[in-house]
């Protein structure tokens, strides 16, 4: 059965403390993986699409990478405004993980 699992469920960082969020998937014939950011009570905001293993994409303090079984969202020197829930989803059927709730303290 297709599954998308994100870890950790919640992550608390100090401002400037870099870390990574994980998204593992079991989907046959993956055709791409999406990362989204979601603020409370709002719709998800698109961040990245990754299509093939080895691919990397960057945007400001965020970098997303993809392997054959998982994707990582690396956050370098985060700021309080990076606090949000980060969701990953597979391209095939828009299956979402449950998200990682990131809290960055000043």
Partner 1 sequence: DAGVTQSPTHLIKTRGQQVTLRCSPKSGHDTVSWYQQALGQGPQFIFQYYEEEERQRGNFPDRFSGHQFPNYSSELNVNALLLGDSALYLCASSRRRGTGNTEAFFGQGTRLTVV
Residue 83 interacts with partner 1 (CB under 8 A): yes or no: no
- Please identify which residue in 32, 61, 70, 76 interacts with partner 1, judged by CB under 8 A: 32
Site for partner 1 in 38-57 (CB under 8 A): 41-46, 49
Candidate ranges 13-21, 61-69, 73-81, 88-96; the one touching partner 1 (CB under 8 A)? 88-96
Residue 92 interacts with partner 1 (CB under 8 A): yes or no: yes
The residue written with tokens 């719709």 in the block is 43
Query: Residue 51 or residue 77: which is nearer to partner 1 going by CB?
Result: 51
Sequence-distant (6+) residues with CB within 8 A of 66 are 33, 50, 51, 52, 53, 54, 55, 56
80 vs 64, 83, 102, CA distance in Å?
20, 6, 10
36 vs 41, 71, 106, CA distance in Å?
14, 13, 23
Note the residues at the interface with partner 1 (CB under 8 A).
6, 31-32, 34, 36, 41-46, 49, 87, 89, 91-99
């Amino acid at each position: 059965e297709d599954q998308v699992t994100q870890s950790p469920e919640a992550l608390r960082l100090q401002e400037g403390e870099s870390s990574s969020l994980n998204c593992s998937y079991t989907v046959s014939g993956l055709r791409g993986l999406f990362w989204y950011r979601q603020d409370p009570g709002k719709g998800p905001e698109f961040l990245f699409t990754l299509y093939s293993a080895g691919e990397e994409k960057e945007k400001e303090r965020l970098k997303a990478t993809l392997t054959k079984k998982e994707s990582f969202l690396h956050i370098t020197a985060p700021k309080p405004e990076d606090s949000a829930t980060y969701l990953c989803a597979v391209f095939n059927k828009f299956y979402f993980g449950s998200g990682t709730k990131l809290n960055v303290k000043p």
